[in-house]
Amino acid sequence: MHPNRKPLIAANWKMNDPPVGCYTSDSPFRSLPGVDVWVFLPFIEWYGAHNAGLVYGAQCGRPEPQGAFTGDISMLMLKHQHFHAVLCGHSDRRHFHQESDAFIAEQATAALEVGLIPIVCIGETEAEHDAGKTTDVLKRQLKPVIDVLTAHHSLPTTHFILAYEPVWAISRGDPNKPAATAKDAQDIHARIRSLLPKDRQATTRILYGGSMKGSNAAELLAQPDIDGGLVGGASLKLEDFRKIVEAAESR
């Protein structure tokens, strides 16, 4: 495994209160020597995370540096408040905010230009999956992102991350929702890797998201092309999240 692909477990708290205990000294939201742990929090939580010394990111960001965009926060503002990374194109944003592939690429560009690490989220819906359109959808979602990478060809590979999140496997609060099987997830991750520019294929981190939890993390994270997880529901349960981080550490 290339050293640039250190496992990363990214917690996505979405629009939820942070779990009790997340800011303590033995919080599982702290990186370990062999695993990066980052928390994608509701904006108003940044100060708590900052004081606790966590590495934190935003769940979205607007490309323009400032202006008449009521309710939004720009990539530049995030950078000023010490955010480390930003999710671009999470399926919730694609669905509830109609974010397009082109706009997501604009966000990734703006993030890179202010020094934030974009985690670009891609993945097919259940209908697309059932219709056998997964590869077509991933190619469509990746195309503008690859253009961004081509325009930033000297960007270190650690400064750009992808997350494959099959929308049909995202729990949305259902703890019994099955994740993709480790084999299927591995196959898709390998396919995504093969679609990246040649000089980035071996070095780009690709996270899996969609009902990763303590009970299935080890199997998913053992796959050669899965470099970590983007974790929603299980990131709200301290001990379940700890198991995921431990699985990544002993990978």
Report the nearest approach of ligand PEP to the CB of residue 55 (Å).
Answer: 17
90 flagged as catalytic: yes
Q: Which helix (H) or strand (E) holds 248?
A: helix 238-249
Nearer to ligand PEP, 114 or 117 (CB): 117
Active site (annotated) includes residue 219: no
Q: Report d(CA 241, CA 217) in Å as an integer.
A: 10
Which tokens in the block code for residue 241?
A: 């999240």
Measured from each CB, the residue nearest to ligand PEP is: 232
For residue 103 the two structure tokens come to 């706009």
The least CB distance from residue 7 to ligand PEP, in Å, is 16
* Angstrom distance (rounded) from CA 39 to CA 78: 14
Of the two residues 114 and 212, which places its CB atom closer to ligand PEP in the complex? 212
- Active-site annotation holder among 45, 99, 124, 165: 165
Contacts for 50 with CB less than 8 Å, ≥ 6 apart: 56, 81, 82
Where along the sequence are the contacts to ligand PEP (CB under 6 A)?
12, 165, 170-171, 209-212, 230-234
CB of 1 to ligand PEP, least distance (A): 23
Of 76 and 179, CB closest to ligand PEP: 179
230/194 Cα distance (integer angstroms): 21
Least distance CB 156 / ligand PEP (angstroms): 25
Catalytic residue among 45, 90, 99, 124: 90
Between strands 56-58 and 228-231, the pairing is unpaired
- Look up residue 230 and give its two tokens: 């983007």
- Residues acting as catalytic residues: 90, 165
